[in-house]
Structure 1
């Protein structure tokens, strides 16, 4: 069972009172649900980050549709916006766990973010030489490739992306903010000059969005069955306990190596179920993404096409950020390209990628297996074949049996928010 400090911290989170949003966060909430800020007039942040589905899409599309007519495919699967409040800023450095939460950018920094809004957002990181990189790892940041430094930085990307909210310029977005019902709130909070500059207005809007996600408890409720288990309020079922054991066992699932289930800071830092680092996992190519019809097109994650500052760091081509597993069972698509549609398939892929590669990858016209088919051959060496269960070989039995995979999936379902112990009223979120 959890140690006392872990129990006390988990219990405190479950019993924490709901704190009213600040005035700035209230503006951020209004922006989050405002469809008028999109080119189509029909898309808001909440359209893809559905609050009723753990702030993630509620459909099974590999990538979401946006643009002026809502017919343009996005480039990647939309991640959940939950549990980002402790994510560190992007860096490439020693392989250590973060011990302090990243801060929302200050208002003074927001104009700098907005000034770069017409260009791809890139993390402010110093990329080291190939020789130095061997001893360090990329970690932190936001988006699948970590290109956004913090929540403030991340907020501007979708608003100006042609295949998402499709504002053609910061000037166009400024005009929409000036006409919004909450424009008077922005004038009151940020001063009479706020709408005199698109950089200033957008910077404050992004800041408000970030603060809303930081303050609103629905983005980080920590009220899953696993959280109640940490608080010693409930027991996991025998199947869920077997799944947790397999999840942690380095010779079985080995999931906890990247999806860390333990609290840190002596129990004060909640389990994030991610190490915030990046991996190349060799997910199969998804034919449902129209861009993939071009055999020369590849989404290289940290190396592009969306991120630009790491393009020459080819040892990171194919690297994508490890997402949290909280609410993973509510998802309908998995991996950066949405190639899988069930948790069972995901765990089977992990177990069988090396033991039964023919099950997951196509064969070419010459009959040769096209392994890691969503990554150019020259970058195949980047794919993780060192950590279990990826260190296996064809013909070797998978590390988990079918029944054990069912146990792991049962445990993963305990990470869904909104667990209601018997007799407990519905939480006010």
Structure 2
């Protein structure tokens, strides 16, 4: 007669006593957690049936670090470079185009450093002998392929007369600025400057951006476009110009320079290294990576409108048509970072870098409501940079986060004191323009003495998340 064998008691399972008892406790604890989750989930489903998918997704994310709602990102096509882009690549790395003969585009925009500066200097040195200091740290050239031209207000329709920026800016005076919150879609840019290249948006295209350093006396320091053309005529790739544009290109110096810079712009648009979208965050968005608990907490704080509120300006969600997020709204802000005494130009107490209204762009110099505003950069690969903000005043993400956290609540920890012992808040903006500084968006909506928006642990977690934005993630 067959008989069912008795189940072995847990106490008689193989293994040593204490270890065995610990395993039993873990099994019981796990079972209890599952029961609690089921009961809680069931109760929540009964009370809030419309939000069950959201809660289940959050539970999956919490337990596994996976994205419960993966998407397919639409990246730029990875195809062989065109002949024009290949020509632009040679121009990009050509040091002979500088007055010193030792500086190229890549000297300040290193491909090994996300096309930003390779060092921690607040400004780079150029000129005929590479001894002349610049005024701002070079921004990254990465992720500019979707950057629109500089504008104020809605984009003009095709075939419209180009807008008068000064007139638009005058119309915008006195209009309330839209509040930026990570909780809603990016704020309408109706009365906010947006787009453009450089920290002040003075170039509208990659082509225009490429020519500017060639003629800047403290960068590649050519005296004129004709001088650049003369160097191009002696470049080893001149035959490629002739093949693309005809032999007569050599007879028109201005056209030769224009086509050379067009080629540089084409190289930046076509080469995947300028917009790789290969970060851990991209992989997470597509369901191919799991975030750690610290990275998950950091992501939530990054997107929390009452905490860091980073996503209010550094948009973190894909577009409606699944283009990857650029982590910038391409708008301009006056943040009031401290003056950087290491910039040689700042040794003159009368010198101020006011961004949109000067000193390097002059068309909006009279629109003082924009003085102190600078372009919001992408945060992609920001964790690899060694200098931050338009004046390079900070060298670590921790310093950057402390600025956001303490600028209003404890300004004495951010700014120096003047000769009278008073905290010199916003000491890099003249007093008459400090009304332009952002006090509206969190975390800048707090007052002196208020608790800061973020704890030290919050900041550590946000930085952990920002490291997931570095390209080159390997699964």
TM-score, normalised by the number of residues in structure 2: 0.80
Q: In the alignment, which residue of structure 2 is the partner of 1:309? A: 363
Correspondence for 2:137 among 77, 100, 103: 77
The structure-2 alpha-carbon separation of the partners of 1:201 and 1:211, relative to structure 1 and needing over 3 Å to count, comes to: same
C-alpha distance after superposition, 1:74-115 (max 9, x if no partner): 110111110001111110004x9x9x9x9xxxxxxxxxxxxx
Retained in 1: the 8 A contact 2:336–2:372?
yes
Q: In the alignment, which residue of structure 2 is the partner of 1:425? A: none
Distance 1:60 1:127 in 2: 39
Is 2:246 aligned against 1:191?
yes
Is 2:332 aligned against 1:249?
no
C-alpha distance after superposition, 1:160-203 (max 9, x if no partner): 10100111111111110000001110011012221222220111
Q: In the alignment, which residue of structure 2 is the partner of 1:92? A: 152
Distance 2:446 2:100 in 1: 49
Q: In the alignment, which residue of structure 2 is the partner of 1:211? A: 266
The structure-2 alpha-carbon separation of the partners of 1:129 and 1:41, relative to structure 1 and needing over 3 Å to count, comes to: closer
Distance 1:357 1:380 in 2: 15
Q: In the alignment, which residue of structure 1 is the partner of 2:112? A: 52
Cα offset, 1:3, TM superposition: 7.6
1:79 counterpart SS class: coil
Is 2:86 aligned against 1:31?
no
2:247 counterpart SS class: coil
Cα offset, 1:395, TM superposition: 1.1
Retained in 1: the 8 A contact 2:81–2:270?
yes
Cα offset, 1:266, TM superposition: 3.2
Retained in 2: the 8 A contact 1:139–1:276?
yes
Distance 2:227 2:113 in 1: 31
Is 2:347 aligned against 1:347?
no
Q: In the alignment, which residue of structure 2 is the partner of 1:7? A: 71
Correspondence for 1:144 among 173, 191, 199: 199
The structure-2 alpha-carbon separation of the partners of 1:162 and 1:313, relative to structure 1 and needing over 3 Å to count, comes to: same
C-alpha distance after superposition, 1:189-224 (max 9, x if no partner): 012221222220111011000000000000001000
Mapping of residues 123-272 of structure 1, within 5 Å: 125=165, 127-133=167-173, 134=175, 136-267=191-322, 269-272=323-326
Retained in 2: the 8 A contact 1:90–1:124?
no
Is 2:274 aligned against 1:274?
no
Cα offset, 1:131, TM superposition: 4.1
Distance 1:414 1:51 in 2: 19
Cα offset, 1:124, TM superposition: 7.7
Q: In the alignment, which residue of structure 2 is the partner of 1:412? A: 466
Retained in 1: the 8 A contact 2:166–2:364?
no
C-alpha distance after superposition, 1:44-88 (max 9, x if no partner): 001111101111111100011111111111110111110001111
Cα offset, 1:17, TM superposition: 6.8
Retained in 2: the 8 A contact 1:92–1:127?
no
C-alpha distance after superposition, 1:6-58 (max 9, x if no partner): 6122xx64xx8731100010010000000000000000001111101111111
- Report runs of 4+ in structure 1 exceeding 2 Å deviation: 1-4, 123-127, 129-135
| Structure 1 portions without partners, runs of 5+ | 103-122, 422-429
Distance 1:68 1:124 in 2: 37
Structure scoring higher RCO (CA < 8 A, sep ≥ 6) equals 1
Q: In the alignment, which residue of structure 2 is the partner of 1:109? A: none
Correspondence for 2:442 among 388, 409, 416: 388
| Structure 2 portions without partners, runs of 5+ | 1-56, 58-66, 177-190
Q: How many residues matched?
A: 391
Distance 2:169 2:426 in 1: 26
Retained in 2: the 8 A contact 1:144–1:321?
yes
Q: In the alignment, which residue of structure 1 is the partner of 2:12? A: none
Larger radius of gyration: 2
Retained in 2: the 8 A contact 1:62–1:338?
yes
Retained in 2: the 8 A contact 1:127–1:310?
no
Distance 2:451 2:468 in 1: 28
1:8 counterpart SS class: coil
Correspondence for 1:43 among 103, 111, 136: 103
1:7 counterpart SS class: coil
Distance 1:417 1:132 in 2: 38
Is 2:342 aligned against 1:288?
yes
